[in-house]
A = this chain, B = another copy of it.
Amino acid sequence: MTPSQKINIGLLGYGTVGSNVYGLLESQAGEIEKATGASISISRIMVRDPSLPRAGAPSELFTGNFDDILSDAGISIIVELIGGVEPAFDYVTAALEQGKAVITANKQLLSRQGFYLFRLAQDKKTQIRFEASVAGAIPVIKVLRESMVAAGLKSIYGIVNGTTNFILTEMSRTGVRYEDALARAQEWGYAEADPGEDISGKDAAAKMAILASIAFHTSVGLEDVTCAGIENVSRRDIAYARELGLTVKLLGVARLYDDRINVRVYPALIKQDHPLASVSGAYNAVFLKGAAIDEIMLSGPGAGGTETASAVVSDIISAVARRESPGFLEYPVAYRNLDFFPDEEVVSTFYLRLEVEDEPGVLAAIASAFGKHGVSIESVIQKGRGARAELVMVFHPVKESRFAAAIKEAGGLEVVKSTPRPIRVEGSHDDGQ
């Protein structure tokens, strides 16, 4: 073996993940050197206020000035952990322009500027790696980029947001309301004080944009992902779904329809014996389906300081192991420009709970509204009587545009007393994908 080479890293941000990255590089230095032939260390850390005392790294490493890192020719890799689009975009761009490799965990940045940054890295013959941007410690980016090239991938779906999965698991497990489950998630550190990005599905949408880009080799931005959150999932729906053998999960779904793609995030009901149903708490799971591989699942912790740090460090190690020749990363991530398959044309199975007048002829009126649009009911159960009467319905697979028209018509009936909020049922039919 050639004598050990020294690799210096500039770290941007020193929060939970950053300090764990520092710690892992120190504690695993021996293993890392044996795997890469290099001695890797963080030689500079940029933080907003370098004068504050910090645990872990010696104080002389800290700086408040990005140029101290950018202009340091001894630093060949920059790890960006500050998050958000600005100023991260400027820093990452400047680093790539100089030919420095970039490791980032920044899903906001990549879901908006990924296509540009991937191209820039290729032009500058350097690397941008982003394992930690999706699904924490689960190595889904490496698997997609390096192990699935010939798998003929047709769809990727799964649970990519731990906060909402924790909340839905709590609601299912204890029967509490959404608001109480959210409060518990905040108390236990699984949800931030402002949980908007998670709850609304936007965090999951950013991750699905990244996964779909990599899997289908096309540019998918955050704006291309239709997204619904979990705010309207009621505990009544959870209880009724359970009686039907179903459980609620916030799913990200990216599917190829011939040469068009559709990428969405929505709460969905899945069968209780489906492997996704046993993904509980803040765990994530991603399914990959393809012509040559049938179905592969990767699951594990979707967040956490050491878990995310482990993904960042695995990227650092991969970057160093391929410092002479970046291998896969020499060639474009996104080399084609697929059109999008419209949501309205997707064929889905729906569950629907409707509060209705408890009087003769109600079901006939509702069934006729759906029938008029060619939407056929698979099962219907009446729950409660009198003022609290509800119909719990599951429909046969139907084109979403038709279902939307039927819902509009049914929702307008005088006997219907609630706003219809259908939930998709996944895994019951395969839609040919």
CA A296 – CA B299 in complex, angstroms? 6
Closest to A138 in B: B296
Complex contact B137–A293 (CB within 8 A): yes
Closest to A320 in B: B327
Tell me which of B37, B290, B292, B307 contacts A294 (CB under 8 A): B307
Closest to A152 in B: B28
- Chain B positions within 8 Å of A24 at CB level: 150, 292
* A61 adjacent to chain B (CB < 8 Å): no
CA A291 – CA B309 in complex, angstroms? 12
Complex contact A299–B297 (CB within 8 A): yes
With A149-B32, A273-B278 as known contacts, state yes or no: A293 contacts B310, CB within 8 Å: yes
* A142 adjacent to chain B (CB < 8 Å): yes
With A1-B331, A292-B306, A307-B293 as known contacts, state yes or no: A313 contacts B150, CB within 8 Å: yes
A326 CB, min distance to chain B CBs, angstroms: 9
- Chain B positions within 8 Å of A301 at CB level: 293-296
CA A143 – CA B137 in complex, angstroms? 11
A151 CB, min distance to chain B CBs, angstroms: 5
Tell me which of B32, B37, B146 contacts A314 (CB under 8 A): B146
Complex contact B296–A147 (CB within 8 A): no
Complex contact B31–A149 (CB within 8 A): yes
CA A24 – CA B293 in complex, angstroms? 11
Closest to A318 in B: B146
Complex contact A291–B306 (CB within 8 A): yes
A152 CB, min distance to chain B CBs, angstroms: 7
* A83 adjacent to chain B (CB < 8 Å): no
* A332 adjacent to chain B (CB < 8 Å): yes
Q: Which among A298, A317, A325, A327 has the highest number of chain B CB atoms within 10 Å?
A: A327
Q: Which among A34, A35, A290, A294 has the highest number of chain B CB atoms within 10 Å?
A: A35
Complex contact B147–A142 (CB within 8 A): yes
With A297-B299, A298-B297 as known contacts, state yes or no: A292 contacts B275, CB within 8 Å: no
A123 CB, min distance to chain B CBs, angstroms: 11
Going nearest first, the 4 A-B pairs with the smallest beta carbon separation are A296-B300, A139-B147, A324-B325, A292-B310
List chain A positions with a Cβ less than 8 A from chain B: 1, 24-25, 27-28, 31-32, 34-37, 131, 137-139, 142-143, 146-152, 217, 273, 275, 278, 290-301, 304, 306-307, 309-311, 313-314, 317-318, 321-322, 324-325, 327-328, 330-332, 335
Given pairs A296-B299, A318-B327, A325-B327, 6 additional interface contacts (CB within 8 A): A1-B330, A137-B292, A142-B146, A147-B314, A150-B313, A322-B325
**12 A–B contacts, CB within 8 A, in A order:** A24-B150, A24-B292, A32-B150, A36-B331, A139-B143, A147-B311, A150-B310, A292-B306, A293-B306, A296-B300, A297-B300, A322-B322
